[in-house]
Amino acid sequence: MKRKVFASTLVALLIIGVIASTALSRPFGRHERGMHFPVELREKLSEEQVKQLQSLQLEVQKSMIALRSQIQIKRLEMHQLWMAESLDEDAILQKTQEISALESQRHEKRVRHRLEVAKILTKEQREAWMQSAHSKPERRRGDGPDRRRRHHRRGEPHRDQGHHHGDAPKNNG
């Protein structure tokens, strides 16, 4: 009896493993970070387009990681400036400009990436992509009404809740 239960459990785990690995191996899958395409469009991409898009996505992800790291470091430095015994107004303004310049670079990289993706697609594919909700930048960034909750879950303050983006810390006392 114990052998039957063990064998049944083992078979169930194998089936779950196969299903999970299949779901995770799909190119441009729903849970994969980066450029998302609607199912109808994914099915119409050639193998060459998929390879090009995956390569492009990998490169942009690498460069975005580097930029995000630089921005985070600058924000930590900004936090230190705000927490100092005496405020150095010039240093704070300079750090704000540095952060803005990096965020501008990040935005430009996103736009250039979208342009490169658009060049890979045919006119019909590009039209389908642009009409899909996935292509709209505001959907990917999460600028919807529940953005504050998502930030809160990640343990980050929302832009309006303190000095996260260079604003002075709120005085709650």
Confidence of residue 32 (pLDDT cuts 50, 70, 90): very low
Q: Are 57 and 34 in contact (CB under 8 A)?
A: yes
Q: Give pLDDT, residue 114.
A: 92
In terms of pTM, does the model score above 0.95?
Answer: no
> Does residue 14 sit within a domain?
no
CA distance 122 to 17: 36
CA distance 53 to 79: 38
pLDDT at residue 169 above 50? no
> Does residue 5 sit within a domain?
no
> Does residue 16 sit within a domain?
no
> Does residue 128 sit within a domain?
yes
CA distance 23 to 76: 38
More confident of the two residues 40 and 54: 54
Confidence of residue 107 (pLDDT cuts 50, 70, 90): very high
CATH code, domain with 70: 1.20.120.1490
pLDDT at residue 123 above 60? yes
How many folded domains does the chain comprise? 1
Q: Give pLDDT, residue 41.
A: 81
> Does residue 140 sit within a domain?
no
> Does residue 10 sit within a domain?
no
Report, as an integer, the average pLDDT of 58-69: 94
pLDDT at residue 150 above 50? no
Helix axes 47-83, 89-120, angle to 10 degrees: 170
More confident of the two residues 30 and 145: 145
Token pair for 146: 């529940």
More confident of the two residues 96 and 168: 96
> Does residue 117 sit within a domain?
yes
CA distance 117 to 50: 11
> Considering the chain, what is the average pLDDT of its residues?
75
Report, as an integer, the average pLDDT of 14-18: 65
Local structure of 2: helix, strand or coil: helix
Virtual torsion, Cα 69, 74, 79, 85, nearest 10 deg: 140
CA distance 21 to 23: 5
Indicate left, alpha or beta for 39 from its phi (over 0: left) and psi (-120 to 50: alpha): alpha
Alpha carbon 164 to its chain's center: 18
